[in-house]
Amino acid sequence: MHEIEIHTVPFDSPEAQRLITATLADLSARYGGSGDETPVDAREFVPPAGAFLVARIDGQPVGCGGWRSHGEETAEVKRMYTAPEARGRGVARTVLAAIERSAREHGRRRIILECGDRQPEAIALYKAAGYERIPNFGFYADEPGCLSFGRTL
Residue 36, domain CATH: 3.40.630.30
In-domain check, residue 117: no
Digit-coded pLDDT (tens) for 72-121: 999 999 999 999 999 999 999 999 999 999 999 999 999 999 999 999 99
Using alpha carbons, select from 90, 91, 80 the residue that is nearest to residue 122.
Answer: 80
Q: Please tell me the distance from the alpha carbon of residue 52 to that of residue 67, in angstroms, as a whole number.
A: 7
In-domain check, residue 127: no
Alpha-carbon distances, residue 52 vs 15, 42, 49, 76, 104 (angstroms): 11, 9, 11, 12, 14
Domain count along the chain? 1
In-domain check, residue 124: no
Digit-coded pLDDT (tens) for 30-74: 999 988 889 999 999 999 999 999 999 999 999 999 999 999 999
**Cβ atoms 75, 108 nearer than 8 A:** yes
Q: What is the pLDDT of residue 60?
A: 97
In-domain check, residue 68: yes
Digit-coded pLDDT (tens) for 135-144: 999 999 999 9
1 — pLDDT class (breaks 50, 70, 90): low
In-domain check, residue 9: yes
**Cβ atoms 92, 80 nearer than 8 A:** yes
Give the single-character DSSP code of 10.
-
Give 5: exposed, middle or buried? Use CB within 10 Å, 0-12, 13-18, 19+: middle
Going by their DSSP bridges, the two strands 74-82 and 110-116 should be labelled as parallel
Q: Which residues contact 36 (CB under 8 A, 6 or more apart)?
A: 23, 24, 27
**Cβ atoms 126, 97 nearer than 8 A:** no
In-domain check, residue 95: yes
Domain of 32 in residue numbering reads as 4-109
In-domain check, residue 138: no
In-domain check, residue 115: no
